[in-house]
Structure 1
């Protein structure tokens, strides 16, 4: 059975946030002021256009030492969710990321932030780029409050980062955004 344009075939694997049991059960509220009322990410954040990371904000958590952010697309036509962004060791007092972070391994702002490889092989943000005709995809922005920094470098694969998150996550939160391939002109 082939997927319909409005309901793409899903990867079948759980998102990272579903594999982590936080110490606290208080949730983190995650928002993106660029997100449209419909839930769609603006074109400038997609890899079809400017491919710049969106601005994010989240609520604080007591005693947090660092934050991690993972963005995944479970609607990608593959066996596991597509990783669009991995960022960790954002200092605990930070509760927002500006739009347009550079695609580098180590960030000057927020200081201490490390960006891992996305599933296109680059560091930092790789914006939505669902296949044309594949329908609307969902992008889960997952935020993890950590009780310590993660001593791993930018080439750390997601399964290893996940193992570290399992041992130091105080609380989690997520928001979902959508994006669909633009119609060809």
Structure 2
């Protein structure tokens, strides 16, 4: 299951540093980052993130969380936030909660594959094995991607193809 890297098919770009106080790269998500409907202790809180070392030409950021191991032909988007101002270099845990005041003005939280604009915690089907949750910060060359709130995460990804200067990645794991 872990042989597929969706970012391997994209045009290569430099990387920069991203860290999280909520989980360590390659480790199992804490219940805080798990979907409330999938685990009795799940809280659906987006992870705390901070980043640095991005290109000087960066004009904004996009943060996404994608599960390439979902039992679909297209994976599963758990979170997508576009148009984060270049002055934003961190997000607090829970910033992805729908309606959260922790996202900066101008940020656009898109609908996840569950159909609502916000963070949905990890929720692999019971018995399906461990899933990878790729949390990615994209350094973008424009202040806004000029997307509408109804834009899908897949369309966001298409737009990122033309505007990504660099990306930083962490992967959390979870299994039921």
Query: Any gaps of 5 or more consecutive residues in structure 1?
Result: 1-6
Q: Does 1:53 align with 2:46?
A: yes
Shift of 1:37: 7.8
> Partners of 1:89 and 1:37 in 2: how far apart?
25
What pairs with 1:83-98 in structure 2 (closer than 5 Å)? Answer: 83-98=77-92
Aligned to 2:11: 21
How many residue pairs are counted as aligned between the two chains? 168
Q: Does 1:144 align with 2:138?
A: yes
Q: Does 1:171 align with 2:163?
A: no
Q: Which has the larger radius of gyration?
A: 1
> Partners of 1:33 and 1:96 in 2: how far apart?
11
What pairs with 1:120-135 in structure 2 (closer than 5 Å)? Answer: 120-135=114-129
> SS where residue 82 of structure 2 aligns?
strand
Alignment CA distance shift 1:177-1:133 (3 Å): same
Q: 1:32 pairs with 13, 20, 33, which one?
A: 20
Aligned to 2:60: 66
Q: Write out the 4+ residue segments of structure 1 that deviate beyond 4 Å after TM superposition.
A: none
Alignment CA distance shift 1:83-1:90 (3 Å): same
> Partners of 2:120 and 2:52 in 1: how far apart?
24
Shift of 1:146: 0.6
> SS where residue 83 of structure 2 aligns?
strand
